[in-house]
Amino acid sequence: MNLNEFTPTQPVILGFDPGKDKCGLAVMGLDRKLHYHQVVPSTEAIATIETLRQKFPISLMVMGDQTTAKVWKQQLQQQLSDPLNIMLVDERYTSLEARDRYWQMFPPKGITKLLPQGMRTPPRPIDDIVAILLIERYLSRLTESEK
């Protein structure tokens, strides 16, 4: 079985980091297995979410609670063909965390390795990694409340 073509049967969570120009998307299972992550132009975000919902059994969307959250939440509820439950999560410091996570996921090569991590800038937008962190924060909150 090709792992890239594996479609989870358990419900998964869609992470969404909305922005004015670009949005981060991620799909993660309750087991914290990452199935998808990508940065898309804001104009394509809703269409991409619809496509992801056809491919994955998405049970919930987790979205950051800052700047554009209210506007995006309203837009999603109006434009998605099928309503989706949307949970807002505290997104403070996720951009900083996402930089560190980027280098864990994609270790630096060549001369970049010699730079201290705080001085390295990821070579691409990391909004998708922010979306991953939002899902992880949501799942951590769930497991803490069960204790």
Question: Would you place residue 117 in the very low, low, confident or very high pLDDT band (cuts 50, 70, 90)?
Answer: confident
Domain annotation covers residue 5: no
Q: What is the pLDDT of residues 9-32, one digit of tens each?
A: 788 999 999 988 999 999 999 999
Nearest-angstrom CA–CA distance, 104 and 101: 5
Domain annotation covers residue 1: no
Over its C-alpha atoms, the chain yields an Rg (Å, rounded) of 16
Single-letter amino acid code for the residue at 53: R
Domain annotation covers residue 4: no
Question: Would you place residue 3 in the very low, low, confident or very high pLDDT band (cuts 50, 70, 90)?
Answer: very low
Q: What is the mean pLDDT of the chain?
A: 89
Domain CATH number, residue 61: 3.30.420.140
CB half-sphere exposure, 34, CA atoms < 13 A: 15
Q: Residues near 2 by Cβ (< 8 Å), separated by ≥ 6?
A: none
Number of domains into which the chain is organized? 1
* Eight-state DSSP code of residue 128: H
Domain annotation covers residue 48: yes
